[in-house]
Chains A and B, each alone.
Chain A
Amino acid sequence: MSEHMVPVKTYIGIFVALLCLTALTTGVAYVDLGAFNTVAALAIAVAKMLLVVLFFMHVKYSGGLTKVFILAGVLFFAILVTLTLADELTRHWSPTPTGWGTLAPLLSRFF
Chain B
Amino acid sequence: MAIHHAHPPGFAHQFEDMEQQREAGSLGMWVFLLTEMMFFGGLFATYIVYRALYLPSFEIGSHLLEVRFGALNTAVLIGSSLTMALAIHSAQIGKRGAQVGFLITTMILGAAFLFIKFTFEWHHDYVEHLVPGFGFGIRPEWGAPGAHVPMFFCFYFFMTGLHALHMIIGIGILSVLTVMAHRGRFTPQYYSPLEVSGLYWHFVDIVWIFLFPLLYLIGGRYLRGGH
Contacts and interface: CB of A to CB of B under 8 A. Distances in A.
A81 B220 contact: no
Interface string B195-212: 110110011011001101
Interface stretch (A11-19, A93-101, A102-110): A11-19
Contact of A15 (B34, B44, B82, B202): B82
20 contacts: A5-B93, A8-B89, A15-B79, A22-B78, A23-B71, A25-B212, A29-B221, A37-B219, A45-B210, A45-B212, A57-B203, A65-B27, A66-B30, A73-B38, A77-B37, A77-B44, A81-B45, A84-B45, A85-B48, A85-B49
Interface in A48-91: 48-49, 52-53, 55-58, 62, 65-66, 69-70, 72-74, 76-77, 80-81, 84-85, 88-89
B137 interface: no
Given A1-B195, A37-B219, A6 B81 contact: no
Nearest to A37: B220
A89 B209 contact: no
A45 B41 CA distance: 15
Contacts of B22: 1
A33 to B, nearest CB: 7
B221 A22 contact: no
Instruction: Give the bracket for the number of chain A residues in contact with chain B.
Output: 35 or more
B220 A30 contact: yes
A35 to B, nearest CB: 10
Interface of B: 22-23, 25-27, 30-31, 33-34, 37-38, 41-42, 44-45, 48-49, 52-53, 67, 71, 74-75, 78-79, 81-82, 84-86, 89, 92-93, 192, 195-196, 198-199, 202-203, 205-206, 209-210, 212-214, 217-222, 226
A6 B89 contact: yes
Interface of A: 1, 5-6, 8, 11-12, 14-15, 18-19, 22-23, 25-26, 29-33, 37-38, 41-42, 44-45, 48-49, 52-53, 55-58, 62, 65-66, 69-70, 72-74, 76-77, 80-81, 84-85, 88-89
A42 B26 CA distance: 28
A33 B49 contact: no
A58 B22 CA distance: 14
Contacts of A66: 26-27, 30
A36 B86 CA distance: 36
